[in-house]
Amino acid sequence: MLWVEATDTDAHRWAGDADEIGRRVEALKSVEVARVADAGHMLHHDQPQAVARLIEDFVGRVGRSAP
């Protein structure tokens, strides 16, 4: 799983503080965390090329290792 966070997010307002969000991420069996700079909650609107590049790179890596 790819977990993408924005550096300027306000997720702590509704999803819990950084520790709570960290606990949620750690609960995932297999996760890669990526951060997008200069983006808020709508990071795919704020930085569409950066988000697309992260997804393409992740899918490319995972696709090669799939059985």
Q: Please give the torsion angle defined by the CA atoms of residues 27, 32, 37 and 40, in that order, rounded to the nearest 10 degrees.
A: -40
54 — pLDDT class (breaks 50, 70, 90): very high
Q: Quick one: what percent of the chain has pLDDT higher than 90?
A: 39
Cα gap 42→48, rounded to integer Å: 10
- What pLDDT, on a 0 to 100 scale, did the predictor assign at position 66? 63
Helix (H) and strand (E) counts for the chain? 4, 2
25 — pLDDT class (breaks 50, 70, 90): confident
Q: How many CB atoms lie within 10 A of CB 62?
A: 13
pLDDT at position 12 over 80: no
Q: How far is CA 59 from the centre of its chain?
A: 13
